[in-house]
Amino acid sequence: MLANLDWADRTAFSDSASGLAGADYNYNYSCYGGAHSSERSKWRQMMILVCGGVKGGTGKTTTAVNLGIERARRGAKVLLVDADPDQESLTDYIANREERKAEPSVSVIQVKGVTTSKSLVALSKDYDDVLVDCGGFDSVELRQAVLICQAWVVPLNPTQMQVWTMPKLKEVLDGANAMRGEAQLTAYLLGMRLSTNSLNRARSDLDAVAQEFEGFGVLATVIHQRAAFERAEALGLAVTELEKPSESDRKARDAIAMLHDELFGRQPIAQRTGGSDGR
């Protein structure tokens, strides 16, 4: 399993003696109205997952919305959070879905500014999982979200232009971990929008990036560039919901299902952090 993602490790930040900016678990939770035993149990079994980076067009919204819908299709009560102060693409996507009356219905809310971390913790009490879509730049919302999340997924196609963003991502991660106490966060690179002809090289390139930047791991799932994602977007759907799928559509569907299982614990994966090979 991913180091940060199984049920035991999801509780690490909540139970940390230091927690966010030196505050302990009880402060983080009770400042929103107190923690009865049943509420605390619910909190301990949820995940705040951030899809974020510092470059636009890498597939953050596509990842968040497809994961969120697939999670809801499997019975979880999911909240999608649009934390992009500029484009609000996630909000528009779900509005299109609601207009078409697609089921299951998935809630979306906009969260912005310096209170993002507190807002996410407060909102998370009413949901099984919260998926946060941050804008493609070094935003206050991204920095706030990674202070309190249990998982950070960074969609990345390892082209030179995108690899050049890694020092900034490392700065954001180190800044968050300086505040998180014992509950250190690993950021996981997701091979996203890859050419269908570049699988082997892309995986080795992602591994090389993770080896160079401490604190980053690589997800086993890769997502290729496929027309299925554009078709699903136009319909307000996830690719897992497309009717009469082509072979390419099925490959996109299977990739999202695999990513869901990898992140939410349906199947174990080899941990590939830093210098570990994991293949």
**pLDDT of the residue at 7:** 30
pLDDT at 46: 72
The model's confidence at residue 45, banded by pLDDT at 50, 70 and 90, is: low
Residue that has been written with the tokens 């078409």 in this structure: 100
Given a cut of 90, whether residue 37 has pLDDT beyond it is no
- Is the pLDDT assigned to residue 179 strictly greater than 60? yes
* pLDDT tens column, 128-178: 999 999 999 999 999 999 999 999 999 999 889 999 999 999 999 999 999
Range in 36-40, 79-83, 113-117, 145-149 with the lowest mean pLDDT: 36-40
Phi-psi region of 64 (alpha: psi -120 to 50; beta: other; left: phi over 0): alpha
Nearest-CA neighbor of 207 among 194, 198, 219, 224?
Answer: 219
Q: What is the pLDDT of residues 211-225, one digit of tens each?
A: 999 999 999 999 999
Q: pLDDT over 70 for what percent of the chain?
A: 78
Residue 22 confidence (pLDDT): 29
Element (DSSP H or E) covering residue 187: strand 187-194
Question: φ and ψ at 11, to 5 degrees?
Answer: -90, -5
pLDDT at 29: 28
Instruction: Say which range, 54-58, 92-96, 99-103, 196-200, has the weakest mean pLDDT.
Output: 196-200
Structure confidence at residue 203 (pLDDT)? 85
The band of 27, judged by pLDDT with boundaries at 50, 70 and 90, is: very low
Q: Place 199 in a pLDDT band, splitting at 50, 70 and 90.
A: low
Task: Give the separation between CA 242 and CA 265, rounded to whole angstroms.
Answer: 24
Mean pLDDT of 2-15: 35
Fill in the amino acid letter for 253.
R
Percent of the chain with pLDDT over 90: 72
Q: For 7-264, which CATH superfamily applies? A: P-loop containing nucleotide triphosphate hydrolases (3.40.50.300)
Residues 250-261 pLDDT 10s = 999 999 999 999
pLDDT in tens, 96-112: 999 999 999 999 999 99
Where exactly are the structural domains of the chain? 7-264
Q: In the predicted model, is pLDDT for residue 242 greater than 70?
A: yes
Q: Is the pLDDT of residue 41 over 60?
A: no
**What is the structure's pLDDT at 278?**
32
Poorest-pLDDT segment among 76-80, 157-161, 234-238? 157-161
> Does residue 29 contact residue 121 with C-beta atoms inside 8 Å?
yes
- Give me the mean pLDDT over the 25-50 stretch: 44
Predicted local distance difference test score (pLDDT) of residue 164? 94
| The predicted structure's pLDDT at residue 118 | 97
Secondary structure string (H, E, C) spanning 48-80: EEEEEECCCCCCHHHHHHHHHHHHHHCCCCEEE
